[in-house]
Amino acid sequence: MNQRKIARIETFLVPPRWLFVRVENGDGAVGWGEASLEGWAEAVEGVFEAFRDRFIGADPFNIEDIWQVGYRGGFYRGGAVIMSALAGLEQALWDLKGRALGLPAWQMLGGKVRDKVRSYAWIGGDRPHEIGEAAAGRKAQGFNAVKMNATAELNWIGTNKQFDEVVKRVEAAQAQGMDVGLDFHGRVHRPLAKQLAKVLEPLGLMFIEEPLLSENMDGLPEIAAHTSTPIALGERLYSRWEFKPFFEQGCVDIIQPDLSHAGGILEVRKIAAMAEAYDVAVAPHCPLGPLALGACLQIAACTPNHAIQEVSLGIHYNTGGHDLLNFCTNKEALTPVDGYLPVPDGPGLGVDIDEAAVREADKDRHRWRNPIFRNADGSFAEW
């Protein structure tokens, strides 16, 4: 009797804001993935009711076919919720297949093109001295590059003083020997985004991220015309079809698909191949947990145009002090050294999960919600 059939699909809401996926074969083989979608875990978990109906009894080795059915089989397709669920399931299938065959996912995707992965971490702080301290802390963790928010509030009208404050914050991080990427988070409207991009150009930033929200795609060429700093975006795009017009427009230099939002490992590999044809680099978004990072490192290992990898090591985005290593038993696989993470040698995603710890954490199923910010005048502010 063929036992290579999916027998069980489980989900776990793990603090601080993660959603882990566990897939089990009839013969007991197991794979793990991460379908985290910050603030929408319950909605993503709901998709797995349909996935169980679809895929219990399916051959887990047929990853492409399962993905196509998961994407197209419900008629309505795409979007953050469905694509995040599909990403977590797909990651778990690669993990299961890799462990069954004794191969890392990158080996099954064509083999590695690098031995280590340049990485960066996020830092917070409103004032230069806070930024400097945060950058020093990341340096002590093994990073030599960081990303930070450009500004808390810079809406329609800005001043030279506000621009100067942004510059001083960047310089405080650079003073610690850090390369810096600056995240606009779509907070800055087009008239000011082009001004701020021009002011920042002499600082030699790694990139400016989401200078405009992706729905304002028509404004990006104007921003690009005002700066030579690389423009990055893509964490809120969920498939190759959504990335396609940005490539065609020629206004993005670095794409940032999230492997837990954009359909998983193979979909992001396809997006990266499209980007390569347009001479665009890949730097996956990952403010998430250990399985998401493990999936990112599989892409980093086998993708020629991969540039740098975001890492959520330690306190990140108000996660309450939870560390992505808490549920990972092979911590060295996700620990940076001299600014680089190792390419995982272990099978599947290369991350060994403490299943007992995950099941215990799931008893306190989180209800994490994105914080809401307000401008000085009381109006809603982008995250």
Catalytic residue ranges: 185, 285
Which residue is associated with the tokens 């910050």? 38
Give the distance, in angstroms, between the CA of residue 179 and the centroid of all CA atoms in the same chain. 19
CB 211 within 8 A of CB 230: no
Token representation of residue 106: 């990158």
Taking a C-beta distance cutoff of 8 angstroms, is the pair 208, 182 a contact?
yes
Indicate the DSSP class of residue 377: T
**Chain centroid offset of residue 243 CA:** 15
Who's near 119: CB < 8 A, 6+ residues apart? 143, 145, 308, 309, 310, 311, 336, 339, 340, 341
Cβ neighbours for 311, distance < 8 A, ≥ 6 positions apart: 119, 120, 121, 143, 286, 293, 324, 334, 336, 341
The answer to whether 216 and 251 have CB atoms below 8 angstroms apart is no
Q: What is the rounded CA–CA span in Å between residue 42 and residue 19?
A: 9
Backbone dihedral angles phi then psi of residue 335, each to the nearest 5 degrees: -110, 125
Q: How far apart are CA 151 and CA 133, in angstroms?
A: 18
| Cα gap 302→210, rounded to integer Å | 26
DSSP H helices, the chain, are 41-55, 63-72, 80-101, 105-108, 128-141, 160-174, 190-200, 220-225, 240-249, 265-277, 290-302, 355-361
Distance CA 347, CA 104 (A): 4
From the CB of residue 199, how many other CB atoms can be counted at a distance below 10 Å?
18
The DSSP code sequence of 17-56 is: TEEEEEEEETTS-EEEEE---TT-HHHHHHHHHHHHHHHT
